[in-house]
Structure 1
Amino acid sequence: MKKWIILDRDGTLIKEKNYLHDPNGAELTEGAADGLRMLSKLGYRFIVLTNQSGIGRGYFTEDEMNAVHLRVNEMLSCAGVRVEGWFHCPHKPGDGCSCRKPATGLVREAQAKLGFDAADIAFVIGDKKSDIELADALGAPSVLLMTGYGAAEYERGVRGALNCANMCEAAAVIARREREAARESFALDLEGHIAAVSGMRSLADGIAEAAATITSALRGGGRFFVCGNGGSAADAQHIAAELSGRYLAEREPLDAAALSCNSSALTAIGNDYGFDKIFARQLEAHGRAGDVLLAISTSGNSANVLEAARSARKLGITTIAMTGADGGELANEADAVLRAPSNHTPRIQETHILIGHALCGIVEKALCR
């Protein structure tokens, strides 16, 4: 996730003061503390990259520069802001080094030390053309602040992807863009969900037949087993709980169990026989001819679910599969297949729980008569 922000120092984080080397002279720019605190709460992490040619010119030492950084860290800490690292170029403009911005040497140094990639950089924020050019070199969005030299640079035609009065305004704009992106993401999810659910009309006959199979087994004293991995394991437990507990009507409990619930059995079987056998082995222990297995797999290719379906066939247990649109190999192993009308895992899982609720409702009504 793109959560690293590269900050310039002079004119961006602290007020521009020619070759500052006295920590007592360090002052945060307007809005810097509030803006960075807001961004920090959004999960962003900060590093500072700064050109400090005063060292190369002999105006001050690295120790004096570090004293300034220590002072700025103290001020930011009091505001609830943490800088992960400070990286500087000590060279003069004509030295031809690879670290003076807009060169990317300082970024590579920071990546090596802090363990992030260029793709993790969310923004480069500064007040100079060199900061904007650094962002361009990294392929990251830039923010030009009007603090420091920013206003003069803007007048000369320098533009960032965002151009803001100060850090506080930049943080507000970034937060607003995040909210807009979240709304757009939700809208896309909702459209996909509606399309998938609308496509479920074609499953009506299959759901009715599956419910009749489950009802017949339970009415005859059989058991109903459900299995799946991950989100499908959660769905298996959900469906089994609706029947062994109560879905909508007050009634006798129904014999439904999820094969993913017994952690001791899962770990023992997985350890002794392999993960592929964790459901099949339990089914062989507890299942009998006439029972029903609901096997859930979004891909239709989960090895342990396939093994459960194969064991079910040997035992005379009817298998109903819930899969994605493709069906996978499970479609060939099951007696009946309910294919979610999607190949996108979240949409498949959303339709699976709707199918599960539909089955519970039909079975419950039939057995409450």
Structure 2
Amino acid sequence: MSSNTFGKKFCFTTFGESHGRAIGCVVDGVPSGLEIDEAFIQSELDRRRPGQNAFATARKEGDKVEILSGVFEGKSTGTPIAMVIFNENQKSGDYENVKNLFRPGHADFTYFYKYGLRDYRGGGRSSARETAARVAAGAIAKLMLNALHVKVQSGICAIGGIEARSYDFDRVNASEIYALDANVEAAQKEAILEAKNAHDSIGGVALVHVLGMPKGLGEPLYYKLDAILCEAMMGINGVKGVEIGEGFQASRLKGSENNDAIDSNGFKTNKSGGILGGISNGDTLTCKVYFKPTPSIFVAQETIDTEGKELTCKLKGRHDPCIAVRGSVVAE
């Protein structure tokens, strides 16, 4: 399988499967001499870690990261940084009954017809388990951004259509679902549990802000900053849409409503989401990431097997009732 690498000057390659021995990444493009705070990297993984509450999968993984190369005496050496996270709580037997059928909403069908075979245990490479490696790589990127005084933050702005009316990023880590609005958090939690108790799932939206963006990042036309961001976000399992700034709403506005006026202090509004012509304008970068409902549900569904025979899919296992919650950390 190709295309497991993201980035150019700073890039990372991930490896591993949901029920394999381990998952991990190799990060390249890190300059020498960067302080590598292993406790910080682990704290980022802990935010995404499964099995922490009723709003996430019951799969218990420690997600303890081990740095294998590229760091000496606490600093980067300028060579590739390899990190590994060993899987600890696989229950592959839960998937024996689906090894020859295509689970609706999953990549089983497309992986089978593209590669001729698939790892049916938890989805294999297509599982969101892979995103733990992205968080580890992202933590290294954050250490670099910290030195440049650039801050990335995220939170949940909608669950199943229940939308936040205000955004408070300071409260996110105190919320079990990383909710941005305390006034709708209870309703959002209730929606998740209601779907879970009905053996179903529900979608949601994560909001990502980047503060301290310098002007001039991105290239015109074929390497636009917003295009790169959309590529990164759409590469996350379960993401079906991305908005920059006003996003889809801009199609309903007039130019006089959508344009950001400028005065001597800078932009008076931020409908553009911090990007104009594919290049950062120095304002806060705003990005909404739309996650579909978790396809792994415990409701009987119609499907076919690898021979084309019609049958009923009845899943077992442990699954997130709302992938947007932990997905918000991945997007960040």
TM-score bracket relative to the smaller structure: under 0.3
Larger radius of gyration: 1
Return the structure number with greater relative CO, CA threshold 8 A, min gap 6.
2
Q: How high is the TM-score relative to the length of structure 2?
A: 0.18
Greater helix content: 1
Q: How high is the TM-score relative to the length of structure 1?
A: 0.17
Greater strand content: 2
